[in-house]
Amino acid sequence: MEWINDHTALLIVDVQNDFIPGGALAVTGGDRVVPIINELQKKFRHVIATQDFHPANHGSFASNHPGKLPGEFIELAGLTQILWPVHCVQSSRGADFHPDLNQSQWKAIFQKGKNPDVDSYSGFFDNARRGDTGLGDYLKSNGITRVFVCGLALDYCVKFTALDAKNFGFETILIADATRAVNLQPSDGEAAIKEMKAAGIKVLTSNEL
Cite the active site residues. Answer: 14, 112, 157
Burial 148-160 (b: 16+ CB within 10 A, else e): bbbbbbbbbbbbb
Neighbours of 49 (CB within 10 A): 23
Instruction: Name, in order, each residue with C-beta under 8 angstroms of 188's C-beta and a sequence gap of 6 or more.
Output: 155, 181, 182
Instruction: Name, in order, each residue with C-beta under 8 angstroms of 27's C-beta and a sequence gap of 6 or more.
Output: 19, 20, 21, 152, 153, 180, 181, 182
Phi and psi torsions of 102, nearest 5°:
-70, 120
Strand order in the sheet with 146-152: 106-112, 46-52, 8-13, 146-152, 171-180, 202-204
Cα dihedral angle (162, 27, 73, 95), rounded to 10 degrees? Answer: -80
